[in-house]
Chains A and B, each alone.
Chain A
Amino acid sequence: MTAIPIGAHLILAALIFTVGLVGVLIRRNLIVLFMCVELMLNAVNLTLVAASRIWGAADGQVFTFFIIVVAAAEVVVGLAILVNLFFRRGTVDVDVPSLLRS
């Protein structure tokens, strides 16, 4: 067995991103949609860390650090909105018409 090239990480990240995208497209629950967005963000993080190793520079790792910060903020606000939405509408199904109409 030989050593793996760096492209294996990139291909794996592409596959994880695709899985997250398909999840966003086919699931109806808002919470699962959030989780699938997290999957896609993670795939991008993996790509950036691999790029950081390819060029021996810290920038990719710094970008990943900021993406984690922004993802945390996004999840906090998104889940707060989701809880409010559920208490007002009684559902988190994104296929229900007028889910966001007041």
Chain B
Amino acid sequence: MGETIAFLVFAGIALGAAVAVVAMRNLVHAALMLVIHLLAVAGLYLGLESQFLAVIQVLVYAGAIVVLFLFVIMLLGVDRDDLLVAQGRRAVAGAVAVGLVLAGALTFAFVGPYTGEASVCGSDVAPTGTEQSCAGIAPVLDADDDAGVAFLGRRLFTRYTLAFELSAVLLTVATIGAVVLARRRDLSPEDEDLPTGEVTA
């Protein structure tokens, strides 16, 4: 009962905020709607027994990525939305039609196998036909592992160790790339032969 109410509330907020991100004219408002959406998704993670990921979502997405977005928006001063209107009416209608077809197809695929009585996590109903039962994470957790951190970490540092190491390399490359891209090119004279393009801002 409580789980259902929490899901409905967070799902409504997440979907409404996602639509608002697309529809908002003011970029700052869109970024703030993105924060609300990400926090609602973190709430959904809590309902899905993934507490660690909920915390990571709040820290990395809502804490770091959206702040970066807001920083760039305010640095460039492009929050007044003159050129950001959608393309022609026909293109918008086509895009919405494509979206409706995609959403319909995905929903059609999920309704049935994943929406029966047996697909409620923790239910004792036996799955029939193509129905998929839901095992839930709680039964496989250790007794002293309330938040599932050891459950996640054990898999992360055994089977996916190589991917973990590669993600460290990726973050280093991204940091170096951002520093190189953000370097000012008009300071030292030997850099003047670089193509700078016309600066219109």
Q: Report the minimal beta-carbon distance from B68 to chain A, rounded to whole angstroms.
A: 6
State A88–B201 Cα separation when bound (angstroms): 8
Set of chain A residues within 8 Å of B175, measured between Cβ atoms:
76
List residues 9-27 of chain A with CB under 8 A from any CB of chain B.
Answer: 9-12, 14-23, 25-27
Inter-chain contact B4/A4, CB cutoff 8 Å: yes
With A4-B7, A9-B48: A56-B139 Cβ-Cβ less than 8 Å? yes
User: What 1/0 flags go to A1-12 for Cβ under 8 Å of B?
Assistant: 111111111111
Select from chain A the residue with minimum beta-carbon distance to B23: A23
The bracket for how many chain B residues form the interface is: 35 or more
Q: Which of B19-41 contact A (CB under 8 A)?
A: 19, 21-22, 27, 30-31, 34, 37-38, 41
Residue of A whose beta carbon sits closest to that of B101: A18
Interface assignment of B9: CB less than 8 Å from any CB of chain A: no
Using CB atoms, name the residue of chain A closest to B81: A29
Main secondary structure of the interface of B (DSSP, over half): helix
Give the complex CA separation of A92 and B79 in angstroms. Answer: 11
| Interface SS, A side | helix
Q: How far is the CA of A59 from the CA of B1 in the complex (A)?
A: 28
Question: What distance in Å separates the Cβ of A60 from its nearest Cβ neighbour in chain B?
Answer: 9
Contact present for B155 and A6 (CB under 8 Å) = no
Q: Are A68 and B60 in contact (CB under 8 A)?
A: yes
> Contact between A50 and B72 (Cβ–Cβ < 8 Å)?
no
A72 to B60, CA, bound (A): 8
**Contact B4 A1, beta carbon cutoff 8 Å:** yes
Which of B1, B72, B83, B175 has the most CB atoms of chain A within a 10 A radius of its CB?
A: B72
Known: A27-B84, A87-B201. A5 touches B114 (CB 8 A): yes
Q: Nearest Cβ distance between residue A71 and chain B, in whole angstroms?
A: 7
C-alpha spacing A64/B3, complex, angstroms: 22
Chain A residues within an 8 Å CB radius of B41: 42, 45-46
| B5 / chain A contacts, CB cutoff of 8 Å | 1
- Greatest chain A CB density within 10 A among B123, B135, B137 is at B137
Chain B, range 102-139, C-beta contacts under 8 Å to A: 102-103, 106-107, 110-111, 113-117, 119-121, 123, 132, 134-137, 139
**CB pair B65 A86 closer than 8 Å:** no
Asked whether A28 and B86 contact (CB < 8 A) given A7-B115, A53-B134, A58-B151, the answer is yes
CB within 8 Å of A: which of B40-74? Answer: 41, 44-45, 48-50, 52-53, 56-57, 60-61, 64-65, 68-69, 72-73
Flag whether B187 is at the interface (Cβ < 8 A): no
Chain A interface (Cβ < 8 Å from any Cβ of B): 1-12, 14-23, 25-29, 31-32, 34-36, 38-39, 42, 45-46, 49-50, 52-59, 61-62, 64-66, 68-77, 79-84, 86-93, 95, 102
The 9 closest A-B pairs by CB, nearest first: A7-B114, A90-B200, A56-B135, A14-B106, A25-B95, A73-B174, A23-B22, A7-B115, A5-B119
